[in-house]
Amino acid sequence: MAESDHIPIKSWANDDRPREKMLAKGRQSLSDSELLAIILGSGSRGESAVQLSQRILSDHKNNLHELGRVSISDLTKYHGVGEAKAINILAALELGRRRSESTPLQKPIIKDSRSAYNVFKPLLEDLPHEEFWIALCNKKNVVLSVLPVGRGGVGSVVVDIKIILKAAIENLASMIVVCHNHPSGEVTPSREDRALTEKLKGSAKLIDLIIADHIIIGNNKYYSFADEGLL
């Protein structure tokens, strides 16, 4: 290819640049050559990173398994690929291989108050101060994320409902279980606990979000708003 035919990636439209395309459309939208170009970072004076990636893949039958069998010295034969870039490529391919052989983590499922308590107990049971946590779940009650949203003193904790709803939206949660601890060991909800639960339930309803339970933990026992018919 003539040098005059080379157009640097930074001159491409944003939707055509691999990094920008990933940010805008997700990693699944990128071709193998575009993903490889991100790993390379740059091409050479007469060839963009994408063009270099296309050439490397073409030489290996456009097959990632074949590419994974090459050596560092094989890759450094390409103009624009030094030892550091070759190491990056092989490291990425090795991670992909190991991922294919690994077993996915089993995420907890919250199906009742006991399973919710088991999620939060290790986080809150022995704390000398109050903390407020949330478990964000999908439609099948699988826990997507468990997050702290408030930290207080011995007898109270301040919670901003906007932070809870923001976390739910960002994680595309369909259901939330909230939980806080009472360091005193007394798990009966206070008037403030009840008021917060009602306010959170009403706010969540506006975005079609279910507050499945509010668990209060203390002294190896718990209180469930759902079990008591308060949700």
Residues of the chain with CATH 3.40.140.10: 113-224
Q: What is the separation of C-alpha 101 from the centre of its chain, rounded to a whole number of angstroms?
A: 21
The two three-digit tokens of residue 211, written as one number:
């507050």
Burial of 94 (0-12, 13-18, 19+ CB in 10 A): exposed
Give the pLDDT confidence score for residue 52 in this predicted structure.
94
120-144 burial: b if 16+ Cβ within 10 Å, else e = bbeebeeeeebbbbbbbbeeebebb
* Phi/psi of residue 217, nearest 5 degrees: -110, 140
Superfamily of domain 113-224: Cytidine Deaminase, domain 2 (3.40.140.10)
The two three-digit tokens of residue 151, written as one number:
């930290």
The two three-digit tokens of residue 37, written as one number:
């170009």
Give the pLDDT confidence score for residue 10 in this predicted structure.
60
The per-residue pLDDT string of the chain (231 residues; one tens digit each, 9 = 90 and over) reads 444 455 565 655 444 588 888 888 898 999 999 999 999 998 888 888 999 999 999 999 999 999 999 999 999 999 999 999 999 999 999 999 998 888 877 899 999 999 999 999 999 988 999 999 999 999 999 999 999 999 988 878 889 999 999 999 999 999 999 999 999 999 999 999 999 999 999 999 999 999 999 999 999 999 999 999 998
Q: Tell me the whole-structure pTM to 2 decimals.
A: 0.64
